[in-house]
Structure 1
């Protein structure tokens, strides 16, 4: 997850228009509409009726456009939900330092946490199983490591001890770090598989997965964070049954939910109430499930 959005390039409509005029003049006449709040990694402008222009907000997202441009066309045919179709990869210009992208617009809205369609657990599991079944990449694509989050997570636990149960968070985090994981058997992962990176239709049925900047190969437990950002206890149990991870992977998934939730909470909660609410739910859902495990009774 990125740091707070301070001191980063202003990717406004004027910059977007100037980049289009410079690099893709055939699209420069089309209307641009800024999407708010957009994403934590990208400023997003709708371009015409059927395209999206995405501009990284800072250094942490600088390589995402090129990664998606290379890999999404290769993996999309094997996945059961729609993913963005890259149309063009923009280069730095007009004083803007990052590669950026134009992709096909995907209709839909963010699904509602805890109130999803009955098909959602199975669709989430089917997507992850298809992703994990992809053949190995022909280049290094290292995914994130749970132990690498240890210093920041422990600092966040201390910083939020007035809001959440620090002892419970520490117990969950320690247990997740101890959960066995074989790094010699990596799998494909989305890397940021949470509610905000899913799209649903007007009936609440999942239709698409977006934002593949974290795409990589590594510990698939990172993608289990969706069980705590989107699902409630009953649908989470259905998702777990459909996906069938081993107990250690599921426990590491709780750790990922805690770590990513705390990271976003400490970075954004003070200024973004919706982030505070979303991440509070994510953290408390993970803690509630962990508290029910036999090993901690």
Structure 2
């Protein structure tokens, strides 16, 4: 498997079997299967029918495990769909250098951008989830990964646009820059910081029967500008269901524009970095750019 990061650890189903055998012998007979994923932080393996093993791919992913252990039990009761449950924590071993985690399995499948069986229903479900996140009353939340003003990623976004201009991607850099500057010009968030997930990519969502069943990967969550949780409008939904999502969320025009800016920024930064190593992420980035530009 092609590595996405220069400092990425070597992981495999055999490594997971050895780690489980040494630390959780009660699960030693369970089959292990690596799951196809667009994730960039963890490798995920199914362990039997009811569990998953998550191994951080780089050292920077380790701190997310501690985040999950602290915050997930506090957030879960207030959210309208399932979120991950940490079952156990593994220790370094068998040549693997970091701690790792075991989660409960959640049934569902990742939605595919623009190909949605129940687009309006899913849009309403996403709106309900986002409203629930924004309404959380969990005290002392950490700063969200994308909770800062949009201008904090201005330089990175412009650099990525120029990098894409120099590639063979079918990409209108001038139109992307114009859309970015329109979002930058939107009034900043003036309200109290709100809880946000801040990484509502299709690979972090599970659907069943076309409707939202679960939301995954919460370590980016925290408090800040709520705009970043509007990114599914451009990274997943269609033009018509985007309107349904907007109505369901109830965001004002300025927050909507900043949300579009976050979606575009993420896409133009992800595409040059992952286009040769992560087809799920790079395909999604192209979808976002097409929807925005």
State whether TM-score is above 0.5. Answer: yes
Match of 1:191 among 198, 205, 211: 198
Name the structure 1 match of 2:89.
89
**Other structure's SS at 1:160 match:** helix
Instruction: Note if 1:286 corresponds to 2:292.
Output: yes
Report the Cα distance in structure 2 between the residues aligned to 1:280 and 1:171, rounded to whole angstroms: 17
> Deviation string for 1:73-132 (max 9, x for gaps)?
111111111111111122333342333211100111111322321311110000010111
Name the structure 2 match of 1:208.
214
Displacement, 1:225?
1.1
Name the structure 1 match of 2:271.
265
Match of 1:174 among 181, 186, 194: 181
Report the Cα distance in structure 1 between the residues aligned to 2:178 and 2:73, rounded to whole angstroms: 41
**Other structure's SS at 2:106 match:** coil
Report the Cα distance in structure 1 between the residues aligned to 2:193 and 2:52, rounded to whole angstroms: 32
Report the Cα distance in structure 1 between the residues aligned to 2:94 and 2:277, rounded to whole angstroms: 30
Report the Cα distance in structure 2 between the residues aligned to 1:5 and 1:121, rounded to whole angstroms: 33
- Superposed CA RMSD in Å reads 1.9
Name the structure 2 match of 1:104.
104
Name the structure 1 match of 2:233.
227
> Deviation string for 1:211-254 (max 9, x for gaps)?
11211111111111111111011100010011111111100111
Match of 2:160 among 156, 162, 183: 156
Displacement, 1:60?
3.2
Aligned ranges 1:57-76 → 2 under 5 Å: 57-76=57-76
Greater mean alpha carbon deviation, residues 118-127 or residues 31-40: 31-40
**Other structure's SS at 1:8 match:** coil
Displacement, 1:21?
3.0
**Other structure's SS at 1:147 match:** helix
Instruction: Give the unaligned 5+ runs of structure 1.
Output: 288-297
8 Å contact from structure 2 (residues 45, 52) kept in 1: yes
Report the Cα distance in structure 1 between the residues aligned to 2:16 and 2:291, rounded to whole angstroms: 39
Task: Say if 1:273 and 1:90 are closer, same or farther in 2 by CA, change over 3 A.
Answer: closer
Task: Say if 1:193 and 1:233 are closer, same or farther in 2 by CA, change over 3 A.
Answer: same
Q: TM-score, normalised by structure 2?
A: 0.90
Report the Cα distance in structure 2 between the residues aligned to 1:93 and 1:149, rounded to whole angstroms: 37
Report the Cα distance in structure 1 between the residues aligned to 2:188 and 2:70, rounded to whole angstroms: 29
Aligned residues: 284
> Deviation string for 1:44-87 (max 9, x for gaps)?
11011100000111133221122112211111111111111111
Task: Say if 1:5 and 1:258 are closer, same or farther in 2 by CA, change over 3 A.
Answer: same
Task: Say if 1:129 and 1:49 are closer, same or farther in 2 by CA, change over 3 A.
Answer: same
Displacement, 1:6?
3.1
**Other structure's SS at 1:119 match:** helix
Displacement, 1:263?
1.6
Displacement, 1:184?
6.0
Name the structure 1 match of 2:30.
30
Report the Cα distance in structure 2 between the residues aligned to 1:93 and 1:216, rounded to whole angstroms: 31
Displacement, 1:5?
2.7
Report the Cα distance in structure 2 between the residues aligned to 1:143 and 1:170, rounded to whole angstroms: 23
8 Å contact from structure 2 (residues 38, 203) kept in 1: no
